Structure 1
Amino acid sequence: MILLTFNMMNMEAETKNGIQISNEERLKITEDNTKAILRILDIHDIKATFFVEISIAEKCKNLIKAISGRGHEIAFYNKNSSLQDIEQTKKSMQDFLEKQVRGIRQKDLKLPSEDLKLLEFNYISNIDNANILFPLKRLERNTEIVEEEGISIVPESISPYSQLPYNDFVFQMLPMNYYQNMVFETLKNEEFVLIYLNTWQFTDFKKYKFKIPFYRRLFSGRKMEDKLDALLSWINEKELATSRMKDYIF
């Protein structure tokens, strides 16, 4: 099973040469990138899970409604929000969507699973920082879903052959043929492959002068759209099964 997920968040990097990009403009970039992703998903009729960063959820309700209306799952991405903020946003979004928000993703700040269970989340998707050093590491960790305090903990997927994680950086940098082979071989040994990308990777960095490392600019923007399109075409061609997170876990 392929679990395709997207982290919907604003680009927070500084800008070059004193150019100003307001918070409103950053949100507009995020929304435009998300719409580009939705178009590609629609073309291939594949459903995904969108992890919306807590701080922007209330600001893009209409887009979130459109994502949910197309059959995709809405979950949350917690960057640095408090439990109270998460609880308030979860209640507001559930009332708005008239659907339960079951999942939450964490990276740098990892809140206790028992606290998230009290907020009625059903699963936690924990991810790590992704940078240029990842290909140099041999990663050894559990890739199976486990139960903790009555909540499912979903780890990152790792290729058992290359030992590369299926994170945003690896997708952006690897040639698509190699990536596809990695997915295919992993599915022979693992029950699922969890793939995650960030909406900001679809930004046109020639147009928007953010100060980011050169390797993060490579294959971004339209090239990311083309890579996603190629992956989804391959998934359908090989008749590989895909699922939203909540459907697979429950």
Structure 2
Amino acid sequence: MILLSFDIEEFDMPFEYGKDISFDEQIEISTRGTIHILDILKKHQVKATFFSTVVFAENAPAIIRRIIDEGHELASHGYYHSDFEVSHLLSSKEALEKLSGTSVKGFRMARMKPVDETEVYKAGYEYNSSLNPTFLPGRYNNLNKPRTYYKESNLLQIPASVSPLLRFPLFWLSFHNLPLGFYKWLSIKTYKKDGYLNIYFHPWEFTDLDQDKFGFPSYVRKNTGDKMITRFDEFIKSLKEKQLTFGRFSDFIKQISVAK
């Protein structure tokens, strides 16, 4: 099963590069990008999982409604994108459930930072997808962690996918910078080895990013906006042509439970 997921949040990434952006624009950019994503998923009749902060959900209720109405899964990305307290694990879950009218089963920490698995379990989640099991200087050093799903502290861990050899990460940045044909090849190899593929993206990737305004380096901006929409559309189309299945995290959990 191919697990597509999207971290929908207030677009505060420019702050990391010393640039300012108003709150209204943060929400507008994330909303616009999520609409592009939903349109592509609807075109291909593919279901996915959206990890949302409460702040974004409260300020984009129509987007949350569309996510639910079109059969996607809503999970928690915390209460705020740039602030975290352990209490936010439970409060974000409860707030998102109230806003959406659905059960929130999964959690992903903002920026894939470490999070206490015991606390995630205590807050009532069934799974956590906050781990990128690779090494990226200054960001991740998780080569000692399992590469595929496992249980820890009674909680199902579903790491982001990395290649079987060398643990090359298949996250959003790779999608932008690798030739699409090579990225598809790596994805299919990983899918065949592991039996599933877990890759994640952000709404702002599907919008035009002004370099002067946001200060992002070229490797972040590469193939964003219209190019990203085209590449993502082609990616889903080509994998569907290979008869590969797509699903939500909740679908995947049911699948592996049955397999046991």
Q: Same fold (TM over 0.5)?
A: yes
| 1:44-84 residue CA offsets vs partner (Å, 9 max, x unmatched) | 00011111124323222221111111011101113432233
1:221 match: 225
Cα distance in 2 for partners of 1:194, 1:108 equals: 14
Residues 1-250 of structure 1: matches in 2 within 5 Å? 1-14=1-14, 21-78=21-78, 79=81, 80-106=83-109, 107=111, 109-128=113-132, 141-161=145-165, 163-206=167-210, 209-250=213-254
C-alpha deviation, 1:199, in angstroms: 1.4
Cα distance in 1 for partners of 2:149, 2:142 equals: 21
- More displaced, 145-154 or 227-236? 145-154
Cα distance in 1 for partners of 2:21, 2:218 equals: 20
Contact 2:133/2:159, CA 8 A, preserved across alignment? no
TM-score, normalisation: structure 1: 0.88
CA RMSD of aligned residues (A): 2.7
Cα distance in 2 for partners of 1:45, 1:248 equals: 17
- More displaced, 203-212 or 50-59? 203-212
* Cα distance, 1:123–1:19 mapped onto 2, change above 3 Å: closer
Q: What letter is aligned with 2:215? A: K
Cα distance in 2 for partners of 1:186, 1:91 equals: 35
Identity %: 28
Cα distance in 2 for partners of 1:240, 1:99 equals: 27
Contact 1:8/1:199, CA 8 A, preserved across alignment? yes
2:258 match: none
Contact 1:176/1:230, CA 8 A, preserved across alignment? no
Give unpaired runs (5+ residues) of structure 1. Answer: none
Contact 2:134/2:167, CA 8 A, preserved across alignment? no
Looking at both structures, which has the greater relative contact order when contacts are Cα pairs under 8 Å and sequence separation is at least 6?
Answer: 1
Q: Secondary structure at the match of 2:129?
A: strand
Q: What letter is aligned with 2:242? A: K
Give unpaired runs (5+ residues) of structure 2. Answer: 255-260
C-alpha deviation, 1:205, in angstroms: 1.4
TM-score, normalisation: structure 2: 0.84
Contact 2:76/2:92, CA 8 A, preserved across alignment? no
Cα distance in 2 for partners of 1:248, 1:174 equals: 27
Q: Secondary structure at the match of 2:151?
A: strand
Cα distance in 2 for partners of 1:34, 1:208 equals: 23
C-alpha deviation, 1:14, in angstroms: 3.8
Q: How many residues align?
A: 246
Q: What letter is aligned with 1:91? A: E
C-alpha deviation, 1:238, in angstroms: 0.8
Q: What letter is aligned with 1:50? A: F
Q: Secondary structure at the match of 1:120?
A: coil
